């Protein structure tokens, strides 16, 4: 009987050397170190280029968003400016019409006055309410600061029910709480005593905005002239 050759190793081909046997192992060739370094550099270049392209894209998006935001803000600002311009051009403007008139009835009597508010704007003034007050003082030392504070603090009361159309006026006739003392009539006649009328009006426009106007007029006689009125030495308000 023919003798079979003895197998060395396992059935799966794994080499397990036995005594007197030789295993042959195949070794895959490995690229040299220079080639591996070159391939790694190429890979790094590719990764860096991809990252640069991504950063450029993000920068472009950021710049585009910024430009869009700036354009939107500019458009919004232009819209607000147009609305404000429209409101200013179409709003009412209420102020003193002409000059007030004073009626002096003699020492011991109050001073009467008459004046009118006029709307010089382009739309009705709504809910008018006003208050006026009279002052007297030596012509050479008038307390302008005190008079300004008193006018600014005038209480016009709750919103009125008067509507003043554009071009219309509303007259106010009043009696002062100031009574002329003995000799005051003569002082007024010679110009040493001045009479001052201050007023304040509040109103609303069609856009729902509230407005306030103040006025102040000084009456001082000058020899040879009659009914001489001067602007007060205070800043009037008109908003």
152, two tokens = 């600014």
Q: Per-residue b/e over 128-144, b at no fewer than 16 CB within 10 Å?
A: bbbbbbbbbbebeebee
Q: Are 132 and 171 in contact (CB under 8 A)?
A: no
Q: What is the pLDDT of residues 101-150, one digit of tens each?
A: 888 888 888 888 899 999 999 999 999 999 999 998 998 999 999 999 99
Q: pTM here?
A: 0.62
Q: Which run of H or of E encompasses 116?
A: strand 110-119
Supply 185's token pair: 């009539």
Q: What is the pLDDT of residue 34?
A: 62
151 close to 181: Cβ distance less than 8 angstroms:
no
């Amino acid at each position: 009987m023919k003798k079979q050759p003895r197998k060395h190793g396992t059935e799966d081909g794994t080499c397990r050397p036995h005594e007197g046997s030789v295993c042959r192992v195949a070794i895959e060739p490995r690229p040299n170190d220079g080639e591996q370094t070159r391939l790694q550099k190429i890979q790094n270049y590719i990764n860096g280029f991809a990252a640069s392209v991504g950063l450029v894209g993000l920068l472009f998006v950021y710049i585009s968003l910024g430009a869009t935001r700036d354009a939107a803000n500019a458009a919004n600002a232009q819209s607000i400016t147009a609305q404000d311009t429209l409101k200013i051009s179409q709003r009412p403007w209420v102020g003193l019409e002409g000059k007030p008139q004073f009626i002096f009835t003699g020492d011991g009597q109050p001073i009467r006055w008459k004046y009118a508010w006029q709307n010089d704007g382009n739309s009705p003034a709504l809910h008018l309410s006003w208050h006026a007050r009279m002052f007297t003082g030596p012509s050479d030392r008038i307390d302008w600061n005190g008079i300004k504070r008193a006018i600014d603090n005038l209480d016009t009361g709750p919103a009125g029910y008067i509507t003043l159309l554009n071009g219309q006026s509303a007259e106010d006739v009043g009696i002062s709480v100031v009574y002329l003392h003995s000799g005051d009539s003569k002082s007024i006649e010679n110009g040493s005593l001045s009479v001052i009328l201050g007023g304040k009006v509040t109103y609303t426009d069609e856009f729902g905005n509230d407005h306030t106007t103040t006025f102040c007029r000084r009456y001082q006689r000058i020899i040879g002239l009659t009914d001489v009125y001067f602007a007060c030495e205070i800043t009037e308000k008109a908003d």
